[in-house]
Amino acid sequence: MPDYTIGVDMGGTNLRVAAITTDGQLLEKITLGVKVAMGRDYVIGEMCDAIHSLTDKYRSTGTFVGAGIGVPGIIDVPAGIMRKSANLPGWTDYPVREVIEKRLQTHIYLDNDANVAALGEKWMGAGRDVENMAMLTLGTGIGGAIILNGKIFYGMSGMAGEFGHITVEPQGVLCGCGNRGCSERYASASAVVRMAREAVESGKAPGLTKAFNSDPEFSARSVYNLAIQGDPDAQHIFHRFGEVMGILLADLVNVLDLEMFVIGGGVVSAWDAFAPKMFAELRERSLVYAASAPEDPTAKKEGASAQIANYTKKKTIITQALLGSDAGLYGAARVPLMR
């Protein structure tokens, strides 16, 4: 009988709880129609009930090791305390671990949603075969996480991996973090909508304007749909998206020289609209990538890139995430196994 853990994904839309065996087999996944907006105590209550019902059900399966919870926001990981989250206003400084551990009498681990998504892809997804990788989660913003030797690299204060706030346009759009031209202002769902709005306001984007005025749920997906239908203004937005992803990845490859960069999150479904520009930009901008990229006979190699190309046998893999929205569930379930 395999032992198992429980992973909890506290997304903005749903609360999801899964029981997963220690070798990565999904036993059961519960999706609760519980929005975090329903309030802290209600959410904690539903979460505890779901964990309890799963541990009760799989009691005979094997030993329950503990539960990991992926939370959006700034976490004090060692203490298991929620610090600050833009989406969870009532949770500031809330000792989530202590509260749930007392209630369920079990081991609880808290981590950031970007970190658990990366752990999930490392464990059962795109990063299964590598020990060193980074993950970029493209959603409302850009989440980032670094895995070294199979473990999350937290940095000094647990804040390593803030890829969404790398400067890609020094005098660009102002960001909530205080910087200008952060990558997530150009390569995220909210950035796509912003760029579309600006195109509509310019009065020079008829296709986007029509969609914007007729679709009450106009979103990044609407822009993507227009782009694949050939609308040049929508395509231009995803070219800009890809260009910025290329600059961002070039910076990360040059600094970290990792085996793999996994790109996930909802917006990765627009891959075919932004990835060609992203790879072209990355190859041109990173000497490390140009020297270690998988072969592409159409690519030009110039300057230092060409000179060092023959010295690296290992390849830098840039790839889509495999687990979709389940990455965070798998990763959260993986956390108790790593402590």
Select the residue interacting with a copy of itself from 59, 84, 128, 151 (CB under 8 A): 84
Select the residue interacting with a copy of itself from 22, 218, 257, 320 (CB under 8 A): 257
HEC sequence for 82-109: EEECCCCHHHCCCCHHHHHHHHHCCCEE
Crossing angle of the two packed helices 220-228 and 271-285, in degrees rounded to 10: 90
Nearest to 320 by CA among 100, 137, 157: 137
Backbone angles phi, psi at 60, to 5 degrees: -85, -10
Q: Does 170 bind a copy of itself (CB under 8 A)?
A: yes
DSSP state of 294: P
In the chain, what are the helix, strand and coil shares in percent, each to the nearest 5? 45, 20, 35
How far apart are CB 144 and a copy of itself at their closest, in Å?
8
Say how far residue 333 (Cα) sits from the centre of its chain: 16
Q: Give me the sign of the Cα torsion angle 274, 278, 279, 280.
A: positive
Select the residue interacting with a copy of itself from 175, 280, 299, 337 (CB under 8 A): 175
Which residues from 137-156 bind a copy of itself, rule CB under 8 A? 144, 146, 148, 153-156
Query: Which segment (38-46, 52-60, 162-170, 209-217) binds a copy of itself by CB under 8 A?
Result: 162-170
Sheet containing 142-148, strands listed edge to edge, beginning at the edge strand earlier in sequence: 151-152, 142-148, 133-138, 260-264, 317-320
Say how far residue 171 (Cα) sits from the centre of its chain: 26
How far apart are CB 89 and a copy of itself at their closest, in Å?
12
> Which residue's CB is nearer to a copy of itself, number 94 or number 154?
154
Select the residue interacting with a copy of itself from 272, 296, 302, 338 (CB under 8 A): 302
Q: Does 94 bind a copy of itself (CB under 8 A)?
A: no
How far apart are CB 291 and a copy of itself at their closest, in Å?
7
Q: CA–CA separation, 80 vs 118, rounded Å? A: 19
Bridge pairing between strands 81-84 and 26-32: unpaired
Q: Please give the radius of gyration of the chain, using alpha carbons only, rounded to the nearest integer.
A: 21
Instruction: For residue 128, give both structure tokens.
Output: 């299964």
Q: Does 190 bind a copy of itself (CB under 8 A)?
A: no
> Which residue's CB is nearer to a copy of itself, number 214 or number 310?
310
How far apart are CB 55 and a copy of itself at their closest, in Å?
32
Q: Does 166 bind a copy of itself (CB under 8 A)?
A: yes
How far apart are CB 97 and a copy of itself at their closest, in Å?
16
Select the residue interacting with a copy of itself from 41, 215, 303, 338 (CB under 8 A): 303
Nearest to 6 by CA among 82, 85, 56, 65: 65
> Which residue's CB is nearer to a copy of itself, number 37 or number 177?
177
Select the residue interacting with a copy of itself from 46, 49, 101, 162 (CB under 8 A): 162
Which residues from 258-297 bind a copy of itself, rule CB under 8 A? 258-259, 284-288, 290-292
> Which residue's CB is nearer to a copy of itself, number 26 or number 175?
175
Q: CA–CA separation, 172 vs 179, rounded Å? A: 9
Q: Does 191 bind a copy of itself (CB under 8 A)?
A: no
| Residues at the contact surface with a copy of itself, assessed by CB under 8 A | 74, 76, 83-84, 132, 144, 146, 148, 153-163, 165-170, 175-180, 247, 250-252, 254-259, 284-288, 290-292, 302-305, 307-308, 311-312, 314, 316
